[in-house]
Structure 1
Amino acid sequence: MRNFLARRLRVAAGVLLGFLSGIVELAMTLVSGLWLLATLGRSADASRGEPRILAAARWWSELQRRRMALCYGTGTAERTAPLTGMPALSYVATRWTVGMLGGVVLLAAVVGAGYASLLVWGWFLAADLDDWALTVAPSAFAGLFLLFLCIQGVHAVALMDEQLARHFLSPSDRQSMERRIGELAKSRAGVVEAVHDERRRIERDLHDGVQQRLVALGMLLGRARRVPDPDKAAELLRQAHEESQQALKELRDVAWRVYPAALDEGGLAAALESVAERAAIPVRLACALRDTPPPTAQAVAYFVAAEAVTNAVKHSGADHVTVRADLTDTLLRLRVEDDGRGGADPSGSGLLGLTRRVAALDGTLTVASPAGGPTVITAELPCV
């Protein structure tokens, strides 16, 4: 109940501020009309910059968006394209009518509240009960009804205010399309770069690990063939067998880092369990997956968890890591937290590669790692 009343009071305060803004906007509309008449037929001079009236309208529109975001709790303050002068001027020239309407509704609410208060102190105005029932009570109940209508009207004015801002201040279809094309081009370039980084890491793992093991294995077998002493040859064969086991283990590790078979066989939960089993420090898992996410989202979530746990083991000095995964109807959310020293760099090669992977699915990756810890990496992946 308290939150409901606080919400209503914030909306009413927003409408009141909108009414006061409407007075300023009416004056700005008159000034802008005179400016348009004065500049009618003149060619624009780009060297002189943006006219002051357009700059003022743009600044005022930004101020109104902040007012609505603060009082109405809406996302009208968010914008993905820069606001230009003429849409802002059109918004100012139109919004003053909504502001004035809000003022009328608030004034009617005050009148209704005044008449409704007769239910409390109207007894002192009436000579007797019949007089109260015939004169005071109808006015009080009419005021109460007017107050109820005005409360709903305040909410309606707030909705009109929001819709007007979205109509004039939201990006056009062309701007939205250009922004989307830019995001796709950027994410595609990021994916290509991430694939190249992954290939370089695989090549480095194969060259520095498996390849060296195989070279050592070949040398041991060659020596075993040339040694005439059977005991020495047996010892070399034993070493060669150990090298083959190590090479096989490292090859499995490389294959696991490329793509774990557990992801296809048991899903994301099983793949995260394999990450926990292979980690050198304790990893606590909490998976709330009521449904199966898309395969691409599962793969990206797995790589985020694997890289985050690996970084925690190598660089953070953490004692334990917590991995949480939950799935809603439209979003797969993965959170990896360690109790290490913090200071992780989001622009590092590992985290930057994860950011590109996540962005390729229109997801977001956030890294919070203050000095002293903890480090929290959160990935949100759309599953529509």
Structure 2
Amino acid sequence: MRETVGRGRFPHTEVHRKVFLKHTAVDPCGFPQCAGLRAPATLPTVTAQVRSGLRLVLGLVLGALLAAAELLFVVLALVVAGLAQLHPRTRRTVRGAIRAAGRRLVECERARLGAYLGMRCTHSYADGRALLYLAARWPLGLLGVVVLLCALLGGGYGSGIVFGWILTDVEHPGALLFSSLAGLVFFFMAAHGLVGVGALERGLARHFLGPGPEEELRRRIDELFTSRAEVVEAVHEERRRIERDLHDGVQQRIVSVGILLARSRRSREPTHSQALVEQAYTESRLALAELREVAWRVYPATLDDEGLRAALETLVERSDVPAKLDYRMAVDPRPSVAAVVYFVVAEAVTNTVKHTSATRIEVVIEEDDGMVRARVEDDGSGGADARGGGLTGLARRTAALDGRFEVRSPLGGPTVITAELPCD
């Protein structure tokens, strides 16, 4: 782990000169990953863990109630379908009623999975697979009830070590202690069982309610069309910004050099002519410096020559706001990922310098579970708009490599910009 602190001049960052476009990854339920911004995989706080656990428990309780309704539906559907075989005229009507009732139950399941288990499923599932899902789901709902009861039982026995001394007269402290410890172990195992039941719920819904091959292909094609249009717009925007930099900066300096040299040639006073030449020399040095700045904004040569760490160190050293780099990667990622990480950090730092009153910037680069995570945090006034031009460009650039991008910027700060990209 290495930290770099720097302060200096920081250039405005341009869109990456190379645009990487690949097939959009699709999540297990068929939703493209880059269709929106998703939260990165960060370590949850204790409060977040408690809320997640409570949502899971409530979701399993509702799942148990739905399981009873699903079991009743399956039994009645089999009975009614069997009776309909005796009356051929009613077969079509009965089948339609069964499918309609099954779809209502599945819609309730979709709402439960999305609200409490964090699972989004497509609404365009086939009716036949929906009925199969209901037939396979009700035993899992009853399993959730059993695991919940086991957790309550373990928690009751485990709490005896605290409340047993108060509520009752303990004649055998050793037995109370042993039963409490056994209850805590039982509760721990049951809690893991709850997590397992939740995973089984998601897997079952993914299997039966996931999109078919045609729908998945159609969504991927739509996403590719959208990404292609965004990439073309990003390239045009990059060209326009480069043209503005060259026209408003370097070109004006070169024109000024030419004017000064022309005046020097017409001047008849050697002292005045020498002064004009000195001014032209100064302007030429400034033009060269601005040309280097433009080249750096288009693509820093340090990124290819010395790697991501060196490029980011140079970046924080040039920042007008004191910045600290915490680089925790032993090996740099592949060039395409390194380039996106660099430009995400550069754009985030630029926005901080230009639009906030921050006094510090912290940049953290780390690897976690096969993902490169770049996090830029500042103590500015916050209120950054994730739909702004620069941040939208970062989201598109990250999504082009199947990455994730998130902006958290409440009013009053702090602002935290996070990007995650696959290492391979």
| Aligned match for 1:279, one of 314, 319, 343 | 319
Report what 1:118 is aligned to.
none
- Alignment check: 8 A CA contact 2:110 2:120 kept: no
CA distance in 2, matches of 1:337, 1:378: 9
> In the aligned structure 2, how far is the partner of 1:107 from the partner of 1:239?
82
CA-CA distance at 1:187 after TM superposition: 2.3
Q: Taking structure 1 as reference, are residues 21 and 270 closer, same or farther at Cα in structure 2, changes over 3 Å only?
A: same
Q: Distance in 1 between matches of 2:148 and 2:258?
A: 93
**SS of 1:27's equivalent?**
helix
Corresponding position of 1:322: 362
Q: Is 1:259 the counterpart of 2:307 in the alignment?
A: no
Task: Check conservation: 1:329, 1:383, Cα contact below 8 A.
Answer: no
Counterpart amino acid of residue 82 in structure 1 = H
Deviation at residue 257 of structure 1 after TM alignment: 0.3
Q: Which residue of 1 aligns with 2:4?
A: none
In structure 2, the residue matched to 1:337 is 377
Are 2:71 and 1:26 aligned?
A: yes
The residue number in structure 1 matching 2:14 is none
Report the secondary structure of 2:406's partner residue.
Answer: strand
Aligned to 2:340: 300
| Alpha-carbon separation, structure 2, partners of 1:200 and 1:300 | 20
Q: How far did 1:237 drift?
A: 0.2
Residue 218 and residue 24 in structure 1: after superposition, are their counterparts in 2 closer, same or farther (change >3 A)? same
Aligned to 1:58: 106
User: Residue 356 of structure 1: SS of its match in structure 2?
Assistant: helix
User: Residues 240-259 of structure 1: matches in 2 within 5 Å?
Assistant: 240-259=280-299
Count of equivalent residues: 333
Task: Give the helix-richer structure, 1 or 2.
Answer: 1
Q: 2:138 maps to which residue?
A: 96
Amino acid at match of 1:94: A
State which drifts further: 161-170 or 11-20. 11-20
Q: Aligned pair 1:219/2:232, yes or no? A: no
Contact 2:67 / 2:139 at 8 angstroms: preserved in 1?
yes
- The 8 Å contact of residues 284 and 321 in structure 1, kept in 2 or not, is answered as yes
**1:308 positional shift:** 1.1
Q: Residues 383 and 409 of structure 2 are in contact (CA less than 8 Å); yes or no, is this contact kept in structure 1? A: yes
> Does structure 2 retain, via aligned residues, the 8 Å contact 1:332–1:382?
yes
2:320 partner SS: coil
Q: Is the 8 A contact 2:125 2:211 kept in 1?
A: no
Measure, in 2, the Cα distance between the counterparts of 1:54 and 1:362: 36
Give the structure 2 partner of residue 311 of structure 1: 351
Equivalent position amino acid for 2:104 in 1: A
Q: Which residue of 2 aligns with 1:119?
A: none
Unaligned 5+ residue runs, structure 2? 1-51, 155-185
Provide the C-alpha distance between the structure 2 equivalents of 1:171 and 1:212, rounded to a whole number of angstroms.
Answer: 57
How many percent identity over aligned positions? 47
Amino acid at match of 1:59: E
Shifted more, 29-38 versus 288-297: the winner is: 29-38
Deviation at 1:99, TM superposition (A): 4.2
1:185 CA drift (Å): 2.7
Shift of 1:170: 2.2
Q: d(CA) in 2 for partners of 1:344 and 1:198?
A: 22
Gaps in structure 1 of 5+ consecutive residues: 1-6, 70-74, 114-146
Whether the 8 Å contact between 1:316 and 1:340 is mirrored in structure 2 is yes
Amino acid at match of 1:24: A
* 1:168 aligned residue: 208
- 1:91-240 correspondence to structure 2 within 5 Å: 91-99=133-141, 161-240=201-280
Instruction: Say which structure, 1 or 2, has more relative contact order (CA 8 Å, 6+ apart).
Output: 2
Q: Confirm or deny: 8 A CA contact 2:363 2:377 kept in the other structure.
A: yes
Amino acid paired to 1:277: E
Quote how far apart the aligned CAs of 1:305 are. Answer: 1.1
Following superposition, the deviation at residue 30 of structure 1 comes to 4.5
Q: For 1:107 and 1:240, how far apart are their aligned partners in 2?
A: 82
Answer whether contact 1:61 1:88 (CA < 8 A) is retained.
no
Residues 322 and 15 of structure 1: is their aligned pair in 2 closer, same or farther, counting only changes over 3 Å? Answer: closer
Deviation (angstroms), 1:63: 4.4
Note closer, same or farther for the CA distance 1:275–1:96 as it changes in structure 2 (3 Å cut). Answer: same
